[in-house]
Amino acid sequence: MRKHSFAIIFLAFAFSYLCFSCSEDLPTQSNIKQENTPSQQIIDAYLLRSVDGVVETELKAKKIDIYSYTDSSKMIFPQGLNVNFLNPDKTIKANLSSLYAESLSDNLYYLRDSVMIINYKDMDTFYCQDLYWRKDSAIVRTDLPVRRHSEGGIDYAKGLRARDDFDSVEVKNPYGMQKVKEE
C-alpha cells in the first residue's frame, strides 16, 4: 500500500508540474526583436548620387550597418565614410572623410572622429572633431574648433559653415596668426 501511495503522490506531482509550469506566452523566434543588430550590412560600399543625370557625389565606406525600424531607418558607418564631391567633368572638387558617421535622418548625417575636408580648388584642408552634413540644403557645419591648413599656413576657428561643394566657406570666429593675401 505504501508503494502505491508513493506512486500516486509522485504521479500527481508530475502531472501538476506539467500542467501548470508551461505557459503559452513564451517568445517565439520571430517575436524576439534585437535592437542592436543591423537588419542589413553593406561591405565595401560604393554609392553614386546624381542630379539630372550628372553624378555629383561619390560615397565610399568599408561597412554600412542599416537598422530598420517601423517608422524609420538609420545607417551607421562604423569604419568611416569617404565622400568625394565631383565637378561636372567628374574630377574631384572636394573630399569629406571621417572615421565614424551615422545618418540621423534621411537628409542629415553626423560625422565624427578625425573629420577632414579637402577643398581641391583652393588647396585648403580643414580638420575638426565632428561635422553635420545636411544633404537637402547642401550644407556642412560644425560649432567645434576647426584647424585649416592652406598655402598661407595654419589657421584656427571656432566653427565652420560651408556648401558641401565648398564653393562657399564661412569660418566662424577665427583666431591666432593668419596670413592674408592682398588682391
Query: Can you give the length of the chain in residues?
Result: 183
Domain 38-172: CATH class, spelled out? mainly beta
pLDDT digits 0-9 by tens, 122-172: 888 999 999 998 888 888 999 999 998 888 788 899 999 998 778 788 888
Q: β-strand 100-103 against 159-163: which pairing, if any? A: unpaired
- What does the pLDDT read at residue 11? 57
* Segment among 30-39, 48-57, 62-71 with least mean pLDDT: 30-39
Specify the pLDDT at position 143.
Answer: 92
Instruction: Kindly indicate the confidence band of residue 73, based on its pLDDT and cuts at 50, 70 and 90.
Output: confident
Q: pLDDT per residue over 135-149, tens digit each?
A: 888 889 999 999 988
Say which residues have a Cβ less than 8 Å from residue 10's Cβ, sequence separation at least 6: none
Task: Please report the pLDDT score of residue 145 as a whole number.
Answer: 92
pTM for this model (two decimals): 0.72
Mean pLDDT taken over the chain: 81
In angstroms, the CA 126 to CA 93 distance is 14
Set of cell numbers at residue 156? 584656427
Domain spans in the chain, listed from the N-terminal domain onward: 38-172
